[in-house]
Amino acid sequence: MIRFLLLTTLLSTPAMADEIWVTNEMDDSVSVIDTTTLEVIAIYPTGERPRGITTSRDGSLLYICASDSDAVQVMDPTSGAVLHELPSGEDPEQFVLAPDDRLLYIANEDDAITTVVDTRTRKIVTQIDVGVEPEGMAISPDGRVQVTTSETTNMAHWIDTETHEIIANTLVDPRPRYAEFSPDGAQLWVSAEIGGTVSVFEAATQSELGKISFAIKGVQPEKLQPVGIRFSPDGARVFVALGPANHIAVIDAATLQVERYILVGRRVWQMAISPDQTRLFTTNGVSGDVTVIDLKTLEPIKTIKVGRYPWGVTARKTD
């Protein structure tokens, strides 16, 4: 009887693990990693040169920037089928989805514009002129402010999401490639790839609170190129991917001091935190893999081979 009960319990428990989705820039595909087994469980084809990737809040849809296909693809994560495409403007590289899942803000690198697309009507709502080569995209947790960074103008453009007008421009160091709001929305962090710094702004006033530099023993300073930024779930720590320096910097969000550096694969781009908030996944472009970091010990525990030039990454809760 006990054996029967155990068996039925085991059988009735869905073996659903959360997933990490990674875009493979050179393979025109996405790799899916099981967060429990840390194995690649599926690979699905996408449009050309997939980079930015994100999920809807409920995890039922995936949005993928297929840069060279000039489209944002909407994928069914359960089957890997591309359901439809959204108009994205030319060469979409990164985007950010509004907290209400409705509007998608897309950076069009070649046209110096931010395209706003309605995910329901699948129509472009508006296009906002920003600086040259827009790339980094962030939205405040309350959805009121969207920020686009422009790589050549070296600015963060603060956009009011009601009026779709730029309300402020703030200068940052050369080649800003990524922006991220703190979980409470009080701060905006912007990484500057060539400048080698991360600027921290007070979101309410757009004033600079501080600037973070990096130094790793044995790594040439010019290789310290910050790109992706990710806050820990409690907002106490910030992880910054340092590109060809092959390390993740762990920063104390209160003091803006670097606590430590974690060795990952070659040319680390972006990061995602598992839905259970225990692990950080980094995409390592040149080495073609994803490094998994334990958030408790801050130790890298495994590196998983994916496709060629993994770039974007997002976490998806499956239950």
Partner 1 sequence: MTPLIAARAIIAREFARFITQRERFLAALVRPLVWLFVFAAGFRAALGLSIIPPYQTYITYETYILPGLCGMVLLFSGMQSSLSLVHDRENGAMRLLLTAPLPRWFLLGAKLLAGAATGLAQVVVFLAIAWIYGLKLKWFGYLAMLPALLLAALMLGALGLALSSRIRQLENFAGVMNFVIFPMFFMSTALYPLWKMQENAPILASLCRANPFTHAVELIRFAAYGQLNLAALGWTVMATGVFFAAAVWGFEPARTRGGPRGTGGAQG
Nearer to partner 1, 52 or 285 (CB): 285
**Total residue count of the chain as it appears in this document:** 319
By C-alpha distance, which of 257, 262, 256 is closest to 297? Answer: 262
Cβ neighbours for 49, distance < 8 A, ≥ 6 positions apart: 25, 26, 28, 66, 67, 68, 69
Alpha-carbon dihedral angle through residues 303, 304, 305, 307, given to the nearest 10 degrees: -120
Give least dist CB 250 to partner 1, A: 15
Give least dist CB 263 to partner 1, A. 5
Q: What's the CA gap between 92 and 103, in Å, rounded?
A: 15
Minimum distance from residue 235 beta carbon to partner 1 (Å): 26
Least distance from partner 1 to the Cβ atom of residue 220, Å: 8
- Cα–Cα distance list, 209 to 46, 204, 256, 269, 304 (Å): 40, 12, 10, 25, 37
Nearest to partner 1 of 302, 308 (CB atom): 302
Nearer to partner 1, 123 or 302 (CB): 302
Query: Residue 311 CB, nearest distance to partner 1 (Å)?
Result: 19
Q: Do the beta carbons of residue 116 and residue 164 sit within 8 Å?
A: yes
Shortest reach from residue 165's CB to partner 1, in Å: 45
Min CB(224)–partner 1 separation in Å: 12
Closer residue to partner 1, CB minimum distance, 204 or 301: 301
CA gap 16, 184 in Å, rounded: 30
Of the pair 78, 297, the CB lying nearest partner 1 is at 297
Cβ-based nearer residue to partner 1, 211 or 266: 266
* Residue closer to partner 1, measured from CB, 201 or 281: 281
Residues that bind partner 1 (CB under 8 A): 217-220, 246, 263-266, 287, 291-292, 300-303
If you write DSSP's letter for every residue of 171-233 in order, what string do you get? Answer: E-SS-EEEEEE-TTSSEEEEEETTTTEEEEEETTTTEEEEEEE---TTS-GGG-----EEE-T
Nearer to partner 1, 237 or 267 (CB): 267
The amino acid at residue 107 is A
What is the closest distance, in whole angstroms, from the C-beta atom of residue 156 to partner 1 in the complex?
Answer: 32
Burial grade of 182 (CB within 10 A; 0-12, 13-18, 19 or more): middle
